Structure 1
């Protein structure tokens, strides 16, 4: 028994078995420790093999102790394969490779196992050359039978190396299909479309078709909105009006700034294209809807008339006096707002008569957190922004309603004009006296103002003077006389 323990073959086998046990005890969550164990046991086994003149890659006739010799060589090859595979996996993870690199990793691991298998067969005296020739014929037969599948596999490998997209990227194919890449394997790629459907695309198809990756260098996306207006104003005036309309949008990117492109002009219309960027492809519809509403309001506020489409069979040429613009009155602004839809028509002129129309230049402060008098403001034209602790929270376009409620907004909050701006100011007492008979309107207005106050407080990183939303609602109700 003592001779058995002193045998180098027994020691190599014992090291190999111990290495396998320790490797499993490390667990999958410790890949670095596993790699260290693999390398340590492999080096110890290598030292014992070559120190005793045993070559693990040469064929040796079976003799006494032949079973122990075979076991020692097999364990050495297994540890070699695991050490190489562990190094490959650690390298790909630590080097920041994308998730798709798993395909390349699997290919390398398969090559390692194939090489180890051939080496073990040569150790038993198999003619590797003859075996490779035979396997080559088999590979040709399988290649012809699996031509489509192999095309997808090698296309997947090419896409992995080229990296035209990654997991999470939003791509648009030349056939119109678009969506976010959620999975990629050897044979196919899975896309999640905007309609919440999974589209499975063979890798060979993706390798041939053209695609646009909208997630690189970032997820912002260029969108264009075309419109036609009657040439009753100069093109420069129209372009500036449209630019001011886009300044008030909350769902587009303002850096870089949106662009107004004049595409053409004739006797019937000025053709304009609004070019802007959205934060991600899914926000395109929301941003477009918002801009259409803002453009409509801006046209009405500045006296710009929309022109009929080019395809219209009859074009009506109307006389228009460009010197008489018809910006919206407070009554029209309130009527277009769902909050005031239930107010009696004969009471709106009274409310408008009590309001004051104020004019501001770009950069002027409309209200700030130090104001003590409660008031309500309705934007007539231009754009304002709510700024809290130096950060912009929300923008207000024509028709927007905001106000200063005593004790609700953070001290650091201010309302600032981003463009030349006109706004109606309504005192809190006047509003309360006129709307005393409309509790449903007071509730809607209270919810809107308190929601804005909560957003501003959250942005400032603290609640509004320690109040909750219910406290804010009570304060707003107090402003409205409830």
Structure 2
């Protein structure tokens, strides 16, 4: 009898120790192994309990009150805690299965805590038959005392729960909290969230403040951002003309999205000044500043040359060709002509021919041979290349004081893209016949052209035109073509001439 009582005490203890050791052993194992182990701990004790005529609640008269019932009560303890752990694992998998969710575990942690507390109380009351009324009452009093002492902290915790349930953002999203803080959420915890600002600072915001703030999620449903640029211009300028120039400037900004389409409006009209607003979208917040800066640059350039054209039109009929002023200004902006003297630049400008294109007109077609350099005075040229499926691929756009066609002019290679006006555009043409004598007599000018081709015209204002005008031949073939067209004058500066 004594040996039976000893086994009645030892067997439950061995069962509980073995179960705890197994749980610790699989703790670092993959999810499937842990879930399988827990499912085994749920299935086997439940089967044994039902086979003994009871359930995990240990109801019925078949559960002895003495040592003989310790074995069944140990099975009940194993079942409840294994079931609680398995349910918590499922909740954690559903609510916190990715890296972002693991940084914001408020909701899943609360649910898991509630599951464990409920299992603990059930074990005390139904399995071990211990009264829990006094424990619950004492816990309530302690909760009131702790709540009064930790009001602010608890406010942050419950605010975090509310924000977690509503889920207005996730880790990795860019958010704005009113007008105070904007940045990328890097962590969400029980008391606060942490935001990495654009200044590479980490701002810690209490959850109670987050819950009361106006939250704007910049990353959902898309990271696309709308922005506005306002310009104040003299009221004497024609609003239609100014809006036309601003539309051209927006077209020249590659980061300004075409969909939704940009818009130019008049936000205020006064006696002395007019305020214009340019609204457009960019792909992400990091592009706003860069795109605004580029837009201002293009606005300045488009206004400058549009004003020169307006002055030229006003002076038509004078003895001196008024358009020479615009051509000279354009030539002075092109780095290729820096080696020329002022007189030579003026002579080149006088021999340039003006051409006006309406929207949709072709300047040149892909595959066509050409011997002219084209300089844009105003408007926007769109460069497109055949995509192979009947459609055309947009390579880019160029505007005032930018040029295109120089490689075809220098080498005789056909154009590899179409160039068409996407607004009303004024261009100046410079033929190869005008340029040939200068290249033969000016080694520095020749070197400038060769270096421009050799570097692939890597200057910022030439990036688009390079893609449109460069032939498929390598740099060596291009330089050979230049020397072939212009003879010994194309020998690079510093090289010996025979």
1:178–1:266 Cα change, 3 Å: same
Aligned to 2:401: 399
Give the unaligned 5+ runs of structure 2. Answer: 317-321, 484-489, 493-498
Q: Which residue, 92, 95, 116 being the options, matches 2:95?
A: 92
Partner residue in 2 for 1:45: 45
Distance 1:187 1:410 in 2: 66
Deviation of 1:57 after TM superposition, in Å, equals 3.2
Paired residue secondary structure (1:303): helix
Change beyond 3 A, Cα 1:451–1:243: closer
Could you tell me which residue of structure 2 aligns to residue 436 of structure 1?
A: 443
Please state how far the C-alpha of 1:427 moved relative to its aligned partner.
4.6
Distance 1:408 1:73 in 2: 91
Deviations 1:398-432 (Å, cap 9, x if unpaired)? 12233364699998733332112122334567557
Identify unmatched segments of 5+ residues in structure 1: 306-319
Q: How does 1:324-403 map to 2 (within 5 A)?
A: 329-337=326-334, 343-373=340-370, 375-388=372-385, 389=387, 390-403=392-405
**Aligned-partner Cα distance in 1 for 2:91–2:414:** 55
Aligned residue among 453, 457, 464 for 1:449? 457
Structure 1 counterpart of 2:115: 112
* 8 Å CA contact retained: 1:12, 1:48: no
1:28-39 residue pairs with structure 2 within 5 A? Answer: 29=30, 31=31, 34-39=34-39
Partner of 1:281: 285
Aligned to 2:319: none
The 2-side partners of 1:253 and 1:360 are apart by 25
Residue range with higher mean Cα deviation, 99-108 or 188-197: 99-108
State the 1:144 CA deviation: 1.8
- Taking structure 2 as the reference length, the TM-score comes to 0.76
**Structure 1 residue aligned with 2:486:** none
1:265 maps to which residue?
269
2:41 and 2:79 in contact (8 A); partners too: no
Whether 2:210 is the aligned partner of 1:206: answer: yes
**Shift in Å, 1:163:** 2.1
Q: Cα–Cα, structure 1 residues 349 and 280, in superposed 2: closer, same or farther, change >3 Å?
A: same
Displacement after TM superposition at 1:68 (Å): 4.1
Per the TM alignment, residue 21 of structure 1 is displaced from its structure 2 partner at its CA by 4.7
Residue 188 and residue 101 in structure 1: after superposition, are their counterparts in 2 closer, same or farther (change >3 A)?
closer
Deviation, 1:84, is 0.6
Alignment deviations for residues 68-118 of structure 1 (CA, whole Å, 9 cap, x no partner): 445423321221112211221333368999667632111111111111222
Q: Secondary structure at the match of 2:45?
A: helix
**Whole-angstrom CA distance in 1 between matches of 2:364 and 2:457:** 14
Q: Rate the CA distance shift 1:53–1:415 in 2: closer, same or farther, 3 A.
A: same
The residue that corresponds to 2:417 in the other structure is: 413
Give 1:248 deviation, angstroms: 2.0
Larger Rg: 2
Question: How far apart, CA to CA, are the structure 2 residues paired with 1:278 and 1:165?
Answer: 21
Please tell me whether the aligned partners of residues 370 and 414 of structure 2 are also in contact (alpha carbons under 8 angstroms). Answer: no
Which residue matches 1:168?
A: 172
Which moved further from structure 2: 33-42 or 450-459? 450-459
CA distance in 2, matches of 1:252, 1:220: 11
- TM-score, with structure 1 as normaliser: 0.79
SS in 1 for 2:194: strand
In the other structure, the counterpart of 1:422 is: 426
**Following superposition of structure 1 onto structure 2, how do residues 61-210 of structure 1 map, counting pairs within 5 Å?**
63-64=66-67, 68-92=71-95, 102-122=105-125, 123-210=127-214
Local SS of the residue matching 2:377: strand
SS at match of 2:455: helix
Structure 2 CA distance for partners of 1:125 and 1:255, relative to 1, 3 Å: same
Aligned-partner SS, 2:457: helix
CA spacing shift, 1:171–1:13, aligned 2, 3 Å:
same
Secondary structure of 1:347's partner?
Answer: helix
Question: Which position in structure 1 is the counterpart of 2:250?
Answer: 246
Q: CA RMSD in A?
A: 4.3
Q: Among 295, 303, 312, which residue is 2:307 paired with? A: 303
